[in-house]
């Protein structure tokens, strides 16, 4: 699920015809001043963070002039909250409030339906009020075939003690709110407070929507750049990871940074999961041994080797990690030799300069372990690989021992990328390029690239590997990016193949 900031949530409300205070989002003090001038009245400046009770946390300021608004925005935008600097504030007109209400909607699993929630009491402390006075919270399950009907909305208002014009006004509002939540495919939504102003209008003063992440692509109007649930602005690496995932649905690639303030020697480990449940157990084993976990990554659901490669590259780009640890369920149905080849190529390209422990149980684990162990010596740091029968505790013990005994190499020698004398090239579905140097290939005796090609799209033209499908078909997905041609060519062939897999936004490693 994707949490929306207040200013994004109010876009949904306004599209549904629900009134909100005049104003907008700003990212600088100058923008806040200009916004306040445009509003032309005293304003409220609010930090855009995913917490309740912002006033009590000094994240809401009242400003009587544009200069005051600029000063308030400047303080908020420089303020650190939960270790992260806020990058956005909301400047809105100050409203005179006569009465406050609460409106919310959740998808209730037990009711198997959306449930609308209304309270005649809103504002700060609504959770405590609801706990102390449950009769002040009215709930209405909604039949999605009909939506919220007029008589249901009026009945909620009657239960809340509303009568006359106000009852009709609020009941109409509840129906608009339900349509706003449904149209945005919200999993949860709330307005707190819904204000009755001195002029008799209903205004949504604060709003929070949580949208189904699988529905984000249908709602470009919300300007959601990352369909992930974050309680803070995404980091640079998280943005890069999402750009990889959003256009490649082959398997899972979930990346989140858990620690960002660490340096070498603080026992921070880059963590790579391979199956969610087993990954959680392995993380617990690392915590129990005193490690910090720099990031969480999960590549499961049968991802291509190229996705594992890019995940490994992101993990290794974190400055200051002391080790690389991969562990998952141990019974994964995906072919683990694909993951192994993705790891080996990443370890050679970077090159790997922290010890790695890989627990890679599942289909083809013996072949995967052999591929990983075979690569030792191709990069500075050691790699140890284990299967499903080795416990996460045993693997974390090996991580501990390897970190203690390994001294990182100063300025490790970068990998030499061959320059093809007779290049034969084609592109892959994610923008990669596979190059064969036919001048080298014709000297190869094993033809390892052809024999290891998983989708069987390579054949020999004399002594040279070529596609047996069109380049267009290869680019459309005929090449599954299993990386076998390069990895097997490197270790068992003449080293005439090389694959370039771009990662936009990530600095490319130096090459000799």
Architecture of domain 22-93: 2-Layer Sandwich (3.30)
Q: State in Å, rounded, how far the first CA of the chain is from the last one.
A: 44
**CATH number of 97-222, picked from 3.60.150.10, 3.90.180.10, 3.30.470.20, 3.40.50.10210:** 3.30.470.20
Number of H helices, E strands in the chain: 16, 26
Question: Mind listing the pLDDT tens digit for each residue in 165-221?
Answer: 999 999 999 999 999 999 999 999 999 999 999 999 999 999 999 998 888 888 888
- 219 with 194: CB under 8 angstroms? no
Residue with tokens 């990662």: 503
DSSP 250: S
Q: Max CA-CA distance within the chain?
A: 91
At residue 82, the pLDDT reads: 61
In the chain, domain spans = 22-93, 97-222, 236-405, 423-500
Length in residues, the chain: 512
236-405 belongs to which CATH class? alpha beta
- 468/485 Cα distance (integer angstroms): 15
- pLDDT tier, 332 (very low <50, low <70, confident <90, very high otherwise): low
pTM above 0.95, yes or no: no
DSSP 106-135: EEETTTTEEEEEEES--STTHHHHHHH-GG
List the one residue out of 312, 282, 317 whose CA is nearest residue 297: 312
Q: What is the CATH number of domain 423-500?
A: 3.30.70.20
Mean pLDDT of 387-406: 96
- 50/223 Cα distance (integer angstroms): 17
* pLDDT over threshold 60, residue 487: yes
Residue 361 CB neighbours (<10 A): 22
DSSP 62-91: EESSHHHHHHHHHHHHH-EETTEE---EEE
Peptide bond between residue 450 and the one before it cis (omega within 30 degrees of 0): no
Phi-psi label, residue 93: left if phi above 0, alpha if psi -120 to 50, beta otherwise? beta
Q: How many C-alpha atoms does 111 have within 13 Å on its Cβ side?
A: 14
Question: Mind listing the pLDDT tens digit for each residue in 12-41?
Answer: 999 999 999 999 999 999 999 999 999 999
- 25/88 Cα distance (integer angstroms): 7
The residues that bridge with 209 in the sheet, in sequence order, are: 189
DSSP 385-453: EE-TTS-HHHHHHHHHHHHHH--PPSSPPPPPPPPPSSEEEEE-TTS-EEEEEHHHHTT-SS-HHHHH-
Residue with tokens 């989708």: 455
Question: Mind listing the pLDDT tens digit for each residue in 74-115?
Answer: 999 887 666 556 778 999 999 999 999 999 999 998 889 999
At residue 331, the pLDDT reads: 65
């Amino acid at each position: 699920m994707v949490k929306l900031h207040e200013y994004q949530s109010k876009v949904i409300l306004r599209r549904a015809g629900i009134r909100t205070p005049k104003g907008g989002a700003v990212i600088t003090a100058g923008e806040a001043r200009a916004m306040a001038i445009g509003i032309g009245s005293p304003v409220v400046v609010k930090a855009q963070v995913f917490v309740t009770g912002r006033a009590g946390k000094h994240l809401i300021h009242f400003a009587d002039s544009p200069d005051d608004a600029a000063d308030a925005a400047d303080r908020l935008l420089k303020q650190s909250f939960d270790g992260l600097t806020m990058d956005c504030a909301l400047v809105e007109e100050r409203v005179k409030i006569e009465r406050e209400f609460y409106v919310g909607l959740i998808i209730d699993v037990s009711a198997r339906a959306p449930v609308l929630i209304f309270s005649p009491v809103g504002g700060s402390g609504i959770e405590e009020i609801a706990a102390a006075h449950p009769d002040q919270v009215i709930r209405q399950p909604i039949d999605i075939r009909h939506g919220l009907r007029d008589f249901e909305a009026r009945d909620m208002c009657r239960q809340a003690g509303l009568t006359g014009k106000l009852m009709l006004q609020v009941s109409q509002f509840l129906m608009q709110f339900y349509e706003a939540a449904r149209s945005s495919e919200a999993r949860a939504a709330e307005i707190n407070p819904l204000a009755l102003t001195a002029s008799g209008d209903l205004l949504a003063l604060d709003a929070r929507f949580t949208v189904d992440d699988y529905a984000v692509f249908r709602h470009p109007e919300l300007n959601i750049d990352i369909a992930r649930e974050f309680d803070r602005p995404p980091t640079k690496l998280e943005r890069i990871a999402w750009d990889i995932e959003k256009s490649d649905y082959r398997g899972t690639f979930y990346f989140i940074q858990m620690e960002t303030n660490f340096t070498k020697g603080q026992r921070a480990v880059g963590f790579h999961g391979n199956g969610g449940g087993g990954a959680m157990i392995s993380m617990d084993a690392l915590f129990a041994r005193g490690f910090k976990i720099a990031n969480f990554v999960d590549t499961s659901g049968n991802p291509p080797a190229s996705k594992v490669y890019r995940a490994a590259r992101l993990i290794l780009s974190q400055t200051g990690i002391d080790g690389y640890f991969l562990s998952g369920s141990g019974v994964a149905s995906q072919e683990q030799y694909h993951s192994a080849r993705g790891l080996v190529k990443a370890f050679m390209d970077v090159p790997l300069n922290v010890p790695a422990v890989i627990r890679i149980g599942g289909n083809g684990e013996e072949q995967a372990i052999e591929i990983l162990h075979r690569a030792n010596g191709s990069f500075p740091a050691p790699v140890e690989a284990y299967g499903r029968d080795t416990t996460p505790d045993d693997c974390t013990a090996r991580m501990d021992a390897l970190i203690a005994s390994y001294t990182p190499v100063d300025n490790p020698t970068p990998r030499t990328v061959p320059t093809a004398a007779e290049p034969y090239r084609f592109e892959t579905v994610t923008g990669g390029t596979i190059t064969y140097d036919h001048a080298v290939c014709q000297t190869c005796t094993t033809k390892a690239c052809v024999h290891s090609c998983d989708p069987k799209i390579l054949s020999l033209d004399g002594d040279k590997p070529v596609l047996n499908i069109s380049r267009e078909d290869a680019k459309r997905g005929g090449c599954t990016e299993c990386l076998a041609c390069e990895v097997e060519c490197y270790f068992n062939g003449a080293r005439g193949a090389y694959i370039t897999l771009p990662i936009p936004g990530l600095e490319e490693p130096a090459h000799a």
